[in-house]
Chains A and B, each alone.
Chain A
Amino acid sequence: MAAVLSPKEFATATPAWWCPGCGDYGVLAALKQALAELGRQPKDVAFVSGIGCSGKISGYVNSYAFHGVHGRSLPVATAVKLANRALTVIAAGGDGDGYAIGAGHFLHTVRRNPDITYIVMDNQTYGLTKGQSSPTSPVGFVTGTSPAGNPEAPINGLAIALAAGGSFLARGFSAHPKQLVELLKQALEHEGLSIVEVMSPCLTFNKINTFAWFKEHVYYVTENLDYDPTSRAQAFKLLLRDDKVPLGVLFHEDRPTFETLSRLGATPLVDLPLQARTADYARLLERYR
């Protein structure tokens, strides 16, 4: 087991730049803390993020950070892991990045179950474009693009992931740093795709789902001693309730990873010899003779 590091090892020279009080600061701090406590080295962390306020997070963690195009962090992260299984691979983005423009990849990455961690920073709005409705906005949410109120039912990302075969589903709250660090640590240690949805309120554009609102609605599944996070049925029941916001590890199971089922060889792709092996090619060319 690697030695515990200081979260400062993961600090960048560039300071984080969100609105004062943004929930994303809590996610950033918790992630650095979790990585440090697990003793992960910055050089071995690949952090892929999408576009939006939340997408900026990869630039604030000292790591191999990849800030790509909107909605595509998961395919990039999946391939980084395939290329080099020694890396700790994390993907992050907002509710728009993951559940709207990237929804297709979300579903298919859950099916694949690569050994990566995906953090969805959910603020239920599009912050960086100044407050439009998002896939997790409630019905009736009034914004510039939904002046008569959002007509679409919000997406239930974790329930979808559960139905698609998700192997680790957790939800945290950015105002609960201690619990969030623990959730992220468990997620990072899970072998397979670990999804951590973090309720990360937007102070500027979401006047409904505020910190105060969440504090009234959240609870931890561990409060109920009968809750079994290895039961898919219980997890479904929980996720389909809409009066409260359950937090904690909602579901986990052991399932073979994409890397395993793809039958990757013992040598990571990145370490394979590139120069042609004559005998292999002779065999290949034989059929064309």
Chain B
Amino acid sequence: MILNDIEIMFGGQAGDGGLTTGDLIAGVFKRMGLEVYTYKDFPSRIRGGHTNYVIRACEHANYGMADHVDGLVAFDLEAVEAHVAELRPGGFVIFDNSSERVPERLRREDVTWYDVPLARIAKDEMGLALVRNTIALGVLATLIQMDRDVVSADVAEVYRRKGERTVDLNLLAVEAGEAYVNRYFTEWPCNYRVQRRWGGDRLLMMGNDAIGLGALAAGCRFMAGYPITPATDILEWMAKQLPAFGGLAVQAEDELAAINMVLGAAFSGVRAMTATSGPGQALMTEAIGLAGVLEIPVVVVEAARAGPSTGMPTKTEQSNLNHLIFSGHGEIPRVVLAPGTVEDAFYLTVRAFNLAERYQCPVFVLTEQALCQSKATLPRLDVEGVRVERGKLVTEPVVADDYRRFAFSPDGVSPRVIPGVEGGMHLAAGSEHNEAGVITENAANRAAMMEKRMRKLEAMRPELPEAIVHGDPHAQIAIFGYGSNRGPIVEAQDRLAERGVATRFFEFRTLWPFPEDEVRAFVADAEHVFVVENNYTGQLERLIRYVVGPLERMHAVLKYDGRPFRPFEIVEPIERHAPARARSDYLSAAKQTVRLKARR
């Protein structure tokens, strides 16, 4: 019997309504006091095509996907074919056998099969095919003993908007599922159980929503964007919420317009942002360079997906790190922050706005599909604790002859007026300019102006979000990673610790300016260094090498199949490499592993 640690996968055709039921299940787990993480594996289309929705529930906050699927709810044979191999031995399948049969070759004997004619019951007994998802919920809830009161209350809440009849129908559907289990499956108990526990006062939220909330709390009052998966949620969220705060979100004609609108609003003194993903980020590159040289505070959320080009729009990847740090012609100061949890997505978004305005430069908030479109449980957000820091913003009249918009200063930051301020008129030009803003190609001025702008990168260091070190700070095995990989890495660490292998994990929250000293110190006495990331070339690993020099025992643990890591995929290479001191080809061996894994 496994208690309070389960991963449910809802598999079927896109547009079948599995999303609503998946969300419902996640909510029930949360209200039962469990910690929840969800992951959407959707095709890039609206209807049809296999889709699955994973709900992980356990007692550890901020875990990601588990090693295996524990319970597969398969609405069609395709779901069984695609995922039966991912089931943990001892796991189970709820299969809708209304019109299909599972062939014997797929009938794994080490899992329990609960064949239920979900669609047939829905149609024949309930008169509505749509409720088969809710019947499946009733089956699952009964098998794993979900809190019945919470299930009923949540079903009622979710369908409340659709009217009393729909609520009643869905409540009956839960009962139908329950009745079916009690009638046919009492001899085959499920190996999993969930039990109510005290989880504290928490929220269940998607990463993109946390970014929206962070932006609002930080005083963002203007957003411009262009729809692009997986960032669109933020534009939609802001379009809905900003008006109540007096603000506005604009859907632009393209990303070029979106980022230039953000520059225009920010130039005028409004806290402004955009959110995009790889292809849109590429289009925004030129204007972000302009923000750097005009010293305009802009916040750009990059919700990364699998590239290049269209790539896999609904799949996760960490292949845009180089792009955020190095893209653009010429050199500008920029900041790249990367939250590792939904909770941190809120706090780092707030800090992004303050850093942008304090240092008058572009700040990126980098997430991936596996974080931004995933839901997770989190403690209450400290909204009241948010402080808006506007830096050297000038709103009182200045003396026109004395005022220098781009004045040299020790920290590289100059007093910033906004249109409407008496005496502050000046030219903000993308061409190189002097302190007053007058365009000039004078050599000495150019050098001084470059130094002024780039000086901000050093000045801001004390204010940058610090890395979090997880695990045993004295362990011989060091791990680097960021973003959505935090969950699987921490879980891998816990697993390794149970086996007596101590590790420490440096979770980057600021990726640029690169925390050189901290990284150098972290690897100094490490026997082995593992860099875990979702890309092919090892972008973070190369960045670390670039700073700390060649390291003999550095292993890149890479995954680039569009899916997030499962903890065992991190445990395995660490166990394999760490004890083997004799080998010299660690890196190539580690890469080999991951490639095999990705082809699986």
Q: Measuring CB to CB, which residues of chain A are less than 8 angstroms from any residue of chain B?
A: 12-14, 42-46, 48, 58-59, 62-69, 71-72, 74-80, 82-84, 86-87, 104-105, 107-108, 262-265, 267, 269-270, 272, 274-278, 280-281, 284-285, 288-289
Contact = CB atoms under 8 A, between A and B. Distances in A.
19 contacts: A43-B423, A45-B419, A46-B419, A64-B425, A66-B294, A75-B258, A79-B264, A80-B268, A84-B269, A84-B418, A104-B257, A265-B246, A269-B246, A270-B269, A272-B247, A274-B219, A274-B221, A280-B245, A288-B204
B260 A69 contact: yes
Contacts of B553: none
Contacts of A265: 243, 246
Interface in B421-453: 421-431, 438-439
A170 B418 CA distance: 31
A75 B265 contact: no
B434 to A, nearest CB: 10
B264 A77 contact: yes
Given A69-B290, A80-B268, A277-B245, 18 more contacts: A12-B427, A43-B420, A43-B421, A45-B419, A59-B429, A64-B418, A66-B267, A72-B260, A75-B224, A76-B263, A83-B268, A105-B256, A269-B247, A269-B265, A278-B384, A281-B216, A288-B205, A289-B203
Nearest to B429: A67
Nearest to A258: B250
B587 interface: no
A245 B214 CA distance: 54
A86 B427 contact: no
Given A76-B263, A284-B241, A288-B204, A65 B428 contact: yes
A59 B245 CA distance: 35
Interface in B263-282: 263-265, 267-272
B246 A267 contact: yes
A67 B205 CA distance: 41
A14 B438 CA distance: 8
B233 interface: no
B383 interface: yes
Interface residues of B, number: 65
B153 interface: no
B217 interface: yes
Contacts of B430: 67-69
Given A80-B264, A80-B268, A62 B418 contact: no
A107 B252 CA distance: 12
A264 B248 contact: yes
B156 to A, nearest CB: 16
Contacts of A46: 268, 419
Given A64-B424, A262-B250, A84 B419 contact: yes
A80 B252 CA distance: 15
Interface in B341-384: 380-381, 383-384
Contact of B287 (A69, A263, A270): A69
A248 B265 CA distance: 32
Contacts of B260: 68-69, 72, 75-76, 79
A64 B262 CA distance: 17
Given A82-B248, A83-B222, A269-B222, A67 B427 contact: yes
Contacts of A274: 218-219, 221, 271, 388, 390
A75 B257 contact: yes
A103 to B, nearest CB: 11
B253 A83 contact: no
B267 A76 contact: yes
B67 interface: no
Contacts of A276: 216-217, 383-384, 386
Contacts of B264: 48, 66, 75-80, 82-83
Nearest to B30: A289
B413 to A, nearest CB: 19
Contacts of A44: 419-420
B256 A67 contact: no
Contacts of B421: 43
Contact of B261 (A62, A75, A263): A75
Given A59-B439, A64-B419, A275 B245 contact: no
Contacts of B246: 265, 267, 269, 272
A43 B419 contact: yes
B257 A72 contact: yes
B24 to A, nearest CB: 14
B254 interface: yes
A98 B12 CA distance: 49
Contacts of A262: 248, 250
B398 to A, nearest CB: 10
A65 B431 CA distance: 13
Given A48-B264, A65-B427, A78-B264, A72 B287 contact: yes
Interface string B200-242: 0001110001000100111101101000000000000000010
B511 to A, nearest CB: 26
Contacts of A74: 257
A86 B421 CA distance: 12
Minimum-distance CB pairs A-B, first 5: A274-B219, A79-B264, A83-B268, A76-B264, A64-B419
A14 B436 CA distance: 11
B270 A269 contact: yes
A284 B253 contact: no
Contacts of A59: 427, 429, 438-439
A159 B116 CA distance: 65
A23 to B, nearest CB: 21
Contacts of A67: 427-431, 439
A44 B261 CA distance: 19
A64 B245 contact: no
B167 to A, nearest CB: 18
Nearest to A65: B427
A80 B419 contact: yes
A273 to B, nearest CB: 8
A82 B222 contact: yes
Given A44-B420, A84-B420, A63 B287 contact: no
B286 interface: yes
B600 to A, nearest CB: 36
